Structure 1
Amino acid sequence: MNKFIFLILPILIFSGTQSKAQQKLTLKEAFKDKFLMGVAVNRYQINQSNQEETDLIASQFNALTAENDMKWMYIHPEENTFNFEQSDKLVELAQKNDMFVVGHTLVWHSQLAPWVFKSNNGDTISNEELNGRIKKHISTIVGNYKGRIDAWDVVNEALEEDGSYRKSPFYKIGGEAFIEKAFQYANAADPGAELYYNDYNLITPEKRNGAIRIINNLKSKGIKIDGVGVQAHWSLNEPSIEDIETAIKMYSETGVKVMFTELDISVLPSPWNAPTADVSVSFENNPTMNPYPNGLPDSVQTQLAKRYEEIFKLFNKHSDKIGRVTFWGLHDGLSWKNNFPIRGRTDYTLLFDRGMKPKKAFNAVINTVKD
């Protein structure tokens, strides 16, 4: 009996050593031969206000996206005023840590400055005037970061759920051509930057087909588009792995890269029948919609880890088609899903908890590479 214990003891010690080494493996190291691992950062992180957060960003990720600071209302608040302070700091942070930078986003109907569609006397501007404003906006911003920002979400969320064009002021004034113009202006300002179309619910057949129509239309006219950004605001059950895989294959067949640009997995019940990211919608909070205010049960932690594992196994399978995976937030405490679509909820969507410690989901994602 004593001899048996002596024989297995080295095995147990070796096993423990492997576990500690595995925990030290970072996301960017684990996936370095597959695709970029990115994170969206807020203003405080761009300003490096919390050293622990800065260290976590630098150690785990190799791509950066500004969560809000490069949207029109912040970077171009008045017609002749551009504010590059925060985006300059984003680029500095990325360059310091050898990170890929994504400019998010150039043309989007939300978080706009109030002057964009109005003349000096308050009337709605013409299509010609709109094109001029879009050109100035894109040419100035992209030109300012030529060679320093690697890629741009040129147009964001231009589709309705049925795949038709969203009836935003951009579309009502400029028709579908505003998308073509935006990509042309971005390419002219920095021919070396990658250009993407970005949207949510791009796994559903109708909206997926709408995005493919945009891609094919641009390509048919010789207008540069390098990738499609699939905002992966998903849940524990939707969309299915099969539907995600179908979308990856169909987007790839158009000749563009596939990016999963805003990945988070909500563990909370949804007031909708399907996940979405329409920031204009909200619902009332109640205990049924906020079941885990004091912490996530271990059984749900396991569910979340399993879901991330299934997703990343699929991503690994199609890593030749995928350019980047970006998490929408650094840790659970910063996830926008704590307040959307119901304010005041407690969600647990990301790989790091509120104390910035790796969760079961983190280890599950790392293990997909080791497996």
Structure 2
Amino acid sequence: MPKFPLLSLLSALLVAVLAACAGTNVASNAPATPGAPSLAEVYADNFYIGAAVNARQISGRDTAGLRLLASDFSSITPENVMKWEEIQPGPDTYTWELADGYVELGERLDMWIIGHTLVWHSQLPAYVRETTDPDQLRAYMEDHIRTVAGRYAGRIDGWDVLNEALNEDGSYRESVFYKVLGEQYIVDAFRLAAEAAPNTQLYYNDYNLNNPQKRQGVLRLVKLLQDNGVRIDGVGMQGHYNLNGPPIAEVEASIDAYAGTGVNVMITELDLTTLPNPWDLDGADVNQDFENSPEMNPYPDGLPDSVSTKIADRYADLFDLFLRKDEAVTRVTLWGINDAQTWLNNWPIRGRTNYPLLFDRESRPKEAYDRLLTLKDN
């Protein structure tokens, strides 16, 4: 299992270095009591504890978030800055500043660095999204993967090569890549990534991978790559969960199934929505959006203690499973550092106040954080 021996003293030192590099005056006053174990330290012998970071943290503007990152996490994933439309907005145009800053941040903090994501149907620039010629689309994909993965070869530890390529029934999503290139694009994407970054782990990442039908689709995808002699090192199970579901047994069954193919399993994009979802939506399709209403935003001024306890209970149940499966699970990544950052404030309804992470809007530890610190002692 991965081990990340992050000491509290080292955390404080790293924060000070980070502050100097970012040109900010950051005091090393992380919420945890000085000398107390951090989240990363508690789980160091089990799996990496990751967080998604955004442009404000990469640029050094979110000093509170950076303190938490240094004190309690051992892995980072970029929330948006490495997605295709951000990093290559035109066929011959690359914007490296934030992506370079992200990798440099991970290196300064000695993190396990994830690249997210090389091929995805969403957040694509128009020149890719509207391509109908197979040779042209193949050339775009080859150039993008070789250039981006190649630039960070030896610096990024794991790439989400392919993101959300399946429908809920396990069939292939009708993305531009699948419609124009067929399932061969999956084989080509992983082969190109392996060539461009031979020492980097390569992952498939998707949501609702606890669902039995979608699970079968992932198993078919992994087998496709393995049968073609193409390397895949892990499956990322996005954990966009809620207080009532999915059932722990379903999550466990999927972890076991994916591990059975010989790949590692990561819990990625973990958060627990606390708000009502009357449309009974599944997953995390970022193209869905709905008009706000007071009934759908029940906690604008703070979360009741009873709900905070439910969040803590749910996180404890999930981490108890991850600990039992730590031979397969190599990383657990929260999709954000604190509640102010979470994408769930604006999805599926904009302007709501959600509470899905371990630190509140002021970067203070929540009941769920305290529960996870002591879970292994119980």
TM-score (norm 2): 0.89
Q: Which moved more, 1:188-197 or 1:42-51?
A: 42-51
Identity of aligned residues (%): 48
**Partners in 1 of 2:59 and 2:34 — Cα distance?**
31
1:88 aligns with 2:100: yes
Residue 7 of structure 1 corresponds to none
SS of residue matched to 1:280: coil
**Partners in 1 of 2:289 and 2:129 — Cα distance?**
25
Given candidates 205, 208, 218, the residue that maps to 1:201 is 208
1:104 alignment partner AA: H
Given candidates 305, 312, 315, the residue that maps to 2:312 is 305
Aligned ranges 1:1-371 → 2 under 5 Å:
24-118=36-130, 124-371=131-378
SS of residue matched to 1:116: helix
**Partners in 2 of 1:23 and 1:270 — Cα distance?**
41
**Partners in 1 of 2:88 and 2:34 — Cα distance?**
45
Unaligned stretches of 5+ in structure 1? Answer: 1-19, 119-123
SS of residue matched to 1:154: strand
Following superposition, the deviation at residue 21 of structure 1 comes to 6.6
**Partners in 1 of 2:363 and 2:36 — Cα distance?**
14
1:238–1:275 Cα contact (<8 Å) kept: no
1:323 alignment partner AA: T
**Partners in 1 of 2:219 and 2:53 — Cα distance?**
29
Aligned residues: 347
Following superposition, the deviation at residue 221 of structure 1 comes to 1.2
1:235–1:275 Cα contact (<8 Å) kept: no
Cα separation, partners in 2 of 1:274 and 1:317, compared to 1, 3 Å: farther
Unaligned stretches of 5+ in structure 2? Answer: 1-31
**Partners in 2 of 1:190 and 1:50 — Cα distance?**
31
**Partners in 2 of 1:29 and 1:178 — Cα distance?**
40
1:331–1:351 Cα contact (<8 Å) kept: yes
Structure of larger gyration radius: 1
1:30 alignment partner AA: V
**Partners in 2 of 1:21 and 1:276 — Cα distance?**
36
Cα separation, partners in 2 of 1:87 and 1:21, compared to 1, 3 Å: closer
2:239 alignment partner AA: A
1:180–1:218 Cα contact (<8 Å) kept: yes
Q: Which moved more, 1:151-160 or 1:279-288?
A: 279-288
Following superposition, the deviation at residue 360 of structure 1 comes to 0.3
SS of residue matched to 1:351: coil
1:159–1:210 Cα contact (<8 Å) kept: yes
CA-based RMSD: 1.4
SS of residue matched to 2:257: helix
2:165–2:172 Cα contact (<8 Å) kept: yes
Residue 17 of structure 1 corresponds to none
2:369 alignment partner AA: F
SS of residue matched to 1:332: coil
Following superposition, the deviation at residue 23 of structure 1 comes to 9.1
2:101 alignment partner AA: K
SS of residue matched to 1:258: strand
